Amino acid sequence: MGKNQWVTKHTDGWAVKGEGNSRATAVTNTQKEAIKIAKDIAANQHSEVIVQGRDGKIRSKDSYGNDPNPPKDKEH
């Protein structure tokens, strides 16, 4: 399983960061673009996407790997 991908607010827009990385993998103008990039990376690495809102609170999580406890929500 690869690194979880975080979508966070950045001074230049929105950043995609691998968990534990100090530098952003990508910086985009919109959160939607950043989420798309993070989902592609997470699907390739069988990891999770964690999206933070403007306030820094976790807005959503989505797993793209072998999740032993899949969620029962209907978000996606």
pTM: 0.84
In this predicted model, what pLDDT tens digit does every residue of 13-69 receive, in sequence order?
A: 999 999 999 999 999 999 999 999 999 999 999 999 999 999 999 999 998 876 666
Tell me, what's the pLDDT at 61?
A: 93
Least Cα distance to 15 among 32, 28, 5 occurs for 28
CA 73 to chain centre: 18
For residue 43, the SS3 value is helix
For the chain, give every domain's residue range: 5-63
